[in-house]
Amino acid sequence: MDVSEARPSGVKLITRKKIYDIMKGYTKNDINKKMDYAESFLLNFQNFSEEQRKEDIHKLSNLKSEIKRRWIAAHYIEELFLKRNNCWLQMIFEIP
């Protein structure tokens, strides 16, 4: 996974597109399971304190909701989802 450690604080930076690609790696077609898979993958990427984990779960929950909303708006069609959300997907998501 292409995650950079651009900050001395240990914050990891990853594009939303990379998170979407992680979701695609899950073989089931259920969007909720795909999002849970990506969340699990990201949370297990490094050792977090319990406080950091709670904060990250909250941030990821918001991101998952937004991805799902956009996925539904694209009528569950990947090509349309990617086309409509290209700029949004290129934005950075921080993992403390």
- pLDDT, tens only, 14-59: 999 999 999 988 888 888 898 889 888 888 766 667 787 788 888 8
Domain boundaries, the chain: 12-95
pLDDT at 81: 97
Helix (H, G, I), strand (E, B) or coil at 14: strand
CA gap 78, 46 in Å, rounded:
30
Q: What confidence tier does 94 reach under pLDDT thresholds 50, 70, 90?
A: confident
